[in-house]
Amino acid sequence: SGTWFPPVEVEGRTFAAGQVNNVYIFPGVSFGAVCCQASSIPEGLFLSAAEAVVGSLDAEDLAADSVVPRRDRIREVSLDVATAVVLAAQKAGVAGRHLGKSWEEVKTALARLRWTPRLPSSG
């Protein structure tokens, strides 16, 4: 869902609705598409993005029966989504900029391109 809903309790267990499209899909798709200078964003890129979100689930997410990763991992998951999008764009022939052949090459290139917020030091 793209809309926030409060967690619900069912049979003593609490479940939180995920905001997959607004939190993980669109930021990762946008970042990947901009970085590889995609000429278009075909549907297949969104499928690759969704598969990357699912592939980002870790043991803690799975133990909680979650279908989306925890939000405290948003930067990590967004980088995975962007990596998948770039690889899919390159395969589809819509990438204007080649960022690498392998998952690791593309992920490393994207990690160098992304902005990291830094607070001013107090010294």
Report domain extents, the chain.
Answer: 22-111
The more confidently predicted of residues 5 and 123 is: 5
Q: Where does the pLDDT of residue 2 fall: very low under 50, low under 70, confident under 90, or very high at 90 and above? A: low
**DSSP 8-class letter at 72:** G
Predicted model pTM: 0.82
d(CA 66, CA 70): 8
d(CA 123, CA 120): 9
Mean pLDDT for the chain overall:
90
Q: Which fold has domain 22-111?
A: Rossmann fold (3.40.50)
The more confidently predicted of residues 116 and 79 is: 79
Using CB atoms within 10 Å of the CB of residue 83, give its burial: 0 to 12 exposed, 13 to 18 middle, 19+ buried: buried
Q: Structure tokens of 14? A: 């609490």
Residues 81-114 pLDDT 10s:
999 999 999 999 999 999 999 999 999 999 999 9
Average pLDDT over residues 12-26: 77
